[in-house]
Structure 1
Amino acid sequence: MSSVWDDLDLLLDSPSSLTVNSTVRGTIKEKPGFNPGEDAAALRKAIEGIGTTEKTLIDILTQRSNAQRQLVCKAYQDATGRTLCDDLEGDTRGDLEGILVALITPPAKFDCQEFIGAIKGAGTTESVLIELFASRSNHQIKAMCDAYLAETGRALIHDLKSEVSGDFEKTLLILAEGKRVESTNVDVAKAKEDAKILYEAGEKKWGTDESKFIDILCHRSVPQLRQTLVEYKSLSGKTLQESIEREMSGRLEDILVAIVKCVKSVPAYLAERLYKSMKGAGTTESTLTRIIVGRSEVDLQDIKAEYKKLFGTSLYSDIESETSGDFRQTLLKICGEDGK
């Protein structure tokens, strides 16, 4: 079965969200003529009036950049002596509360809170850990680790160790160090050599040598890995993803496939996560919130484009049909209608 993930033709020239640190592909931009005091007053009125005016909260918080929202939070606290976060938690409920609080949280702190949520409670949510570490750049991972240290006083890597085990742990821990090579230079000979190492460690071997896969996929730069994916296919006739799916199982397979997908296209990987979060049994609101808010100033435009390519429907219309109420309104406002 051929899929979008088998197509390597355009791979080497396409930009990557893992290396490009820019906000131009986001859906939310800075609001011109922004006045934090005015916004804070409007939010205060919406919250303190009889019955919260959700529309005001949604309109203001979805139409400002995260940096601007931080200034609104400060103005709000200066004016009321209370934090906007506490007031939102006191006045809104459920998924709406979750997404509004996410919007006013700085991105690194938001990632950190998602990480804490994934390792807390009975059973670790591996799929969230995989998404966080496979789809984030070195810079984002370092920022998440700093936020974790500030929040808990402990090293993220230390706490991660106690939650996971085996090769899955090894892979996550290497990613959590944020040490992926950043160079944009591609060494074709090295890519051929890595492809051969991977082929011999997997398809050609009785029993797979997982450590080779982990080492190469977690350390090489994105451009270098893209070249390696191309070389692997010409050497073995299969894509590396197909080989991993054949040779491995469980959580290690999941994380290595996620890394390969993110090397190709983080937006396509996240589009797939969004689709599954809506089309599986019961919508996973936390995944919708994490990706839509978390990528709103990174690459949500690209995620929308990939979603359409992968699933033939628009992200906007799927959110419209799979969610409801003020939570739906907030997601749709962030997503933006352009070319539904």
Structure 2
Amino acid sequence: MSYPSNYPLFHLEGAASYQHYPNSGPPPPPSLIGSSAYNVNQYHMTGQGFNQYDMGFAGFNQPYHPPWSVPGYQMAMLQQLHQQSVQSPGQFQPQAMEMPTTALLKSVDAHSLHDQMQYQMQMYQTITDMYKSGQNPSEKKPEEIMAKVEDEPKVITAESVQKNKAEEDISLKVKAEMKRVFVAELLRRQAVSGTFEMTEGTVKPFKRYEAGDPVAAWYSKNRGEDKTGQAWDPECDCEYLRDAMKGLGTNDDAIILVVSTRCNQQRQELKDIFKTIYGRDLIKDIKGELSGDYKELVMALFVAPAEYDAWCIKEAIYGLGTDEQALVEILLTRTNEQIKEIRQAYPDVVHKKKTAKASKFEKDIADDTSGDFKKLLISASMGRRYEISHDKLSQAVQEVVNPDDGAGTGMYEVNYRLLSDQAKAKNEAQQLYKAGEKRWGTDEETFNRIFSSRDYYQLRATWDEYVKLTQRDILNSVDRETSGDFRAGLRAIVMNIRSRPMFFAERLRDAMKGMGTDERTLIRIIVSRSEIDMVQIKECFLQLTKKTLWRWIKEDTSFNFKKLLQALVGKN
């Protein structure tokens, strides 16, 4: 049985296949565009390579520049207006547009807001240009417009935005389109991370072979064909990998280069092409050449994300003992859509070559855990946590207004206060108080019910109300009122909903601090987060430890295992 890829497929050119979407040809089936909740970036590929968002990620250890970074532009005009609006004593309430205090560390909030505003300015310019050229953006899908924003980055200044605003007939249409696309993008982020914050991976699709690329150099020397400047070609990579493994010894640098600079979907393509041109199994060949933690890391990188999560859950359950930390880390941090993909993959992962008629997912979890911890995991395994609906989010997305003159800017952001029910937050904070601090013993069922079902923003509001009611942070009460694995699970939910990157930063730190290293946890987190939010995890790790993740890996691991981990996370 096969599953939809966890990362968007790329589409080969030719009469029998789809051309680059959305610019030409019929669109791919809906299931192939944004079909996976594991994909934080909507990559698009064309030909034998990518025409992705212009990420500037050209090759091994190359610097990465976000597509929304505007050269020479230090502070987005809209960020300044945001700060004025939340500080203004006039018609705007100070907290109206503020992120919840539990969302992320303030410095990370500021960085995210800066990126968000600059990104919207480019979107505004792109949509305006589409109207000017006679195109109707409202007839296009939001992901098509988002792809166009990334494929055609523009240098935006405050002056250019104001100039476009002067063309009122276009401006009104642009504003409506801006909101539509922005809401769609926020809902996509919710499926990936549960929140509307921007996230970014360190591993992205390999776009083209630049000058000095080792694969291009090898191909030129051995095949007499110059690939410099050409789009990614999986056959070139396969030939390069085959040469690295032939004969005595192994060229580990070649393997590290390819697996660390190609995204998961490209690695899946390499497995198929390798078998097509050589009649050999790439995974078996690599497995026979490597050993130890280095082999385990490479093998993990060649597994599709949902299948890898399912495998990690199976490994945590089967055999002697139970790896409760792994179960907490996966089941309590994945979104509804990701849990659904895991459930779909789990039967085949457990039964391997046998056809599974029914999933043992919940039964395996229930049989290997107990008590309140078991109930918490079963709740999470359903993948039914409430989420913000399109209508509710649309009402909360508001135009940023200049407090000096009341004029709209054409940019939008979320009024987070409108995402939560404040009366319900106060009521459920009272329920948590009565279930714990106010009574002898603890009503664990109340904690499970509220923590496992409410959407992220409702829980943030509830925990804010809890502080007002008890003068305690919710984590303090969790520590005081619960124990064991159940406490660890509740703590994971709180930390994950407040800041998922910080949660994983702490897990990475704990895996490496002190005597010895928890290599399995190190592999699991870096592999699973490398294409989702590793950039934000690194930022949090630096704040947490005062050292970069790259430096910790250097000091705590060794040899090829260290080199590959460092290549995946990138040097800050």
Query: How would you bin the TM-score normalised by the shorter chain?
Result: over 0.9
- Alignment-derived partner of residue 9 in structure 1: 101
1:79 aligns with 2:277: yes
The offset of 1:145, in angstroms, is 1.1
CA shift digits 1:114-138 (9 cap, x unpaired): 1111112110110110101111111
The offset of 1:311, in angstroms, is 1.6
Which residue of 377, 382, 385 maps to 1:172? 377
Cα distance in 1 for partners of 2:264, 2:233 equals 14
Q: Equivalent residues in 2 for 1:1-340 (5 A)?
A: 9=101, 11=103, 18-20=193-195, 25-32=200-207, 33-151=231-349, 152=351, 153=356, 154-183=359-388, 185-338=419-572
Coordinate RMSD, CA, aligned: 1.8
Q: Percent identity?
A: 37
The offset of 1:281, in angstroms, is 3.1
Cα distance in 2 for partners of 1:22, 1:228 equals 19
The offset of 1:23, in angstroms, is 8.8
The TM-score, its normalising length taken from structure 2, stands at 0.56
Cα distance in 1 for partners of 2:198, 2:422 equals 31
The offset of 1:159, in angstroms, is 1.4
Cα distance in 2 for partners of 1:79, 1:286 equals 33
Cα distance in 2 for partners of 1:31, 1:285 equals 27
Paired positions, count = 331
1:24–1:267 CA distance, 2 compared to 1 (3 A): closer
Structure 1 unmatched ranges of 5 or more: 1-7
Letter in 1 for 2:277: A
Cα distance in 1 for partners of 2:197, 2:481 equals 36
1:112–1:22 CA distance, 2 compared to 1 (3 A): farther
Cα distance in 1 for partners of 2:296, 2:197 equals 26
1:85–1:20 CA distance, 2 compared to 1 (3 A): farther
1:221–1:213 CA distance, 2 compared to 1 (3 A): same
Letter in 2 for 1:74: D
Residue 368 of structure 2 aligns to a residue in which SS? coil
The TM-score, its normalising length taken from structure 1, stands at 0.93
Q: Is the 8 A contact 1:102 1:110 kept in 2?
A: yes
The offset of 1:142, in angstroms, is 1.2
Cα distance in 2 for partners of 1:67, 1:20 equals 24
Letter in 1 for 2:268: Q
Cα distance in 2 for partners of 1:49, 1:234 equals 68
Higher helix share: 1
Which has the bigger relative contact order, CA under 8 A and spacing at least 6? 1
Letter in 2 for 1:240: I
1:91–1:22 CA distance, 2 compared to 1 (3 A): farther
Letter in 2 for 1:244: V
Q: Is the 8 A contact 1:23 1:298 kept in 2?
A: no
Q: Is the 8 A contact 1:40 1:76 kept in 2?
A: yes
Letter in 2 for 1:63: T
Cα distance in 1 for partners of 2:244, 2:333 equals 36
Q: Which range is displaced more, 215-224 or 178-187? A: 178-187
Cα distance in 1 for partners of 2:289, 2:362 equals 35
The offset of 1:312, in angstroms, is 1.4
The offset of 1:18, in angstroms, is 2.6
Q: Is the 8 A contact 2:102 2:498 kept in 1?
A: no
Structure 2 unmatched ranges of 5 or more: 1-99, 113-189, 208-230, 394-418
Q: Which range is displaced more, 164-173 or 135-144? A: 135-144
Q: Which has the larger radius of gyration?
A: 2
1:72–1:20 CA distance, 2 compared to 1 (3 A): farther
Letter in 2 for 1:331: L
1:320–1:93 CA distance, 2 compared to 1 (3 A): same
The offset of 1:113, in angstroms, is 1.1
Cα distance in 2 for partners of 1:21, 1:287 equals 27
Q: Is the 8 A contact 1:18 1:222 kept in 2?
A: no
The offset of 1:91, in angstroms, is 1.2
1:293–1:268 CA distance, 2 compared to 1 (3 A): same
Letter in 2 for 1:25: E
1:30–1:24 CA distance, 2 compared to 1 (3 A): farther
